[in-house]
Amino acid sequence: MSDASHRLDEPSRLLALLRSIASPGVLNAVPPLLLFLTGFLGPLVLVGLTSFIPARTFGFHGDWTLENYSQLFAEGSSHYIPFLWSFGLAAACVAFLLMICYPIAYGMAKVFGKWASPITLLLVLPLFVSENVRLFGWVIFLMKGGGIFAGIMKTLFGLDPGSMLYTPAVVLFGLCYVYLPFMLFPIVLGVSMIPKDLVESANDLGASRFQMFREIEVPLAMPGLLVGGLLTFILAVGAISETTILGGQNISVVALDIRHEFTYNQNWPGGSAIAMLVTVLTGVLVMTLLNRLNLDRLLGKR
C-alpha cells in the first residue's frame, strides 16, 4: 500500500512542477516574449555579431575581429564628429524641451481644468501625420526667398531673413518640434503627482514661489522629468529625418553616418560597430538614470 503511493508520488510531483511552470502568468507572457526575442533582441544580436567580422565582408566565417571598433578610435578617423552632433543636439533638445514643456505640463495638470483635454488633443494631433510630411511642411515655411516665412517678412516688413534652412539651429528646432509630445506627457504625469497640500504646506512653512518649485515640485515631478528626458534623448540621438530634411546633410549625425557605412561604403561591419557603440552609450545612460528612479512610484504604487 505504502509502496504504491510512493510510486505514484514521483510522476505527480513532476506534474506539479510542470503545472507551476505553465502557470497562467507564464503562458500569458509567452507571445510578447516571442515577439521581443524575434523582433527586438534578434536583430540586435545580428548587428552585434556583424560588428565583429572583418570590414567589408558579408558572412560569418569564424574570423572574429575588433578591428571595426579600433577603426572608430583610430588616428584621423572622423567618426567622432557625427557622435558629437547627435549627442550634443539631443542634449540641447532635452534642455530646451524641459524648459518648454514644464510650464505647459503644469498648466495641463493643475490650471487648465476642462481645457486640458482639447489642448492635449491639439498636441497629439500632429502625431497622426508622418514626421517627414510635417518636416517638409517646415521646409516650405522656412525656404529661402520663396518660403512662407520669408515671403511674409519680405512683403510686410521688407526684410529678407535669408536662408533659415540647413543650419544646426533649424535642426534643433525640428528635433524639439517633433519630440515635444514625448517630453510633455511624462512631465504631465510627473506634475500631476505633486500633491496640492504638500505645496501649500511648504508655502505655509515659509517657502516663496521659487522655493516651492525647487524644494517640492521639481523633486516630486522628477520621475516624470527623467522619463521624458530619457525618452526624448534616446529618440533625438537616433533621429535622422530632421537632419536630412531640415539640415540638408550639412550636419552629419550618427544615424546618417551608420546609413552611409551600410549603403555608400558597403561596410556593414563598420556600420554595425557604430550602431553598437551608440546602443551601449545610450544603454549605460538609461540604466544609470533608471536605477535612480522608482518606477513603482511613477505608476502610483508607492
Q: Which residues bind another protein (CB under 8 A)?
A: 195, 197-198, 200-208, 211, 215-216, 219-220, 302
Minimum distance of another protein from residue 223's CB (angstroms): 11
Nearest to 223 by CA among 181, 195, 198, 190: 190
Minimum distance of another protein from residue 215's CB (angstroms): 8
Helices (H), 193-217: 196-204, 209-212
**Which of 2, 291 has the CB closer to another protein?**
291
**Which of 226, 254 has the CB closer to another protein?**
226
Rounded (to 5) percent helix, strand, coil in the chain: 75, 0, 25
**Which of 100, 298 has the CB closer to another protein?**
298
Minimum distance of another protein from residue 195's CB (angstroms): 7
Q: Side-chain half-sphere of 204: how many Cα atoms within 13 Å? A: 6
Q: Using an 8 Å Cβ cutoff, are 251 and 169 in contact?
A: no
CA distance 276 to 9: 51
Minimum distance of another protein from residue 203's CB (angstroms): 5
**Which of 70, 201 has the CB closer to another protein?**
201
CA distances from 214 to 190, 207, 218 (A): 15, 10, 6
**Which of 57, 192 has the CB closer to another protein?**
192
Q: Using an 8 Å Cβ cutoff, are 30 and 37 in contact?
A: no
Minimum distance of another protein from residue 206's CB (angstroms): 4
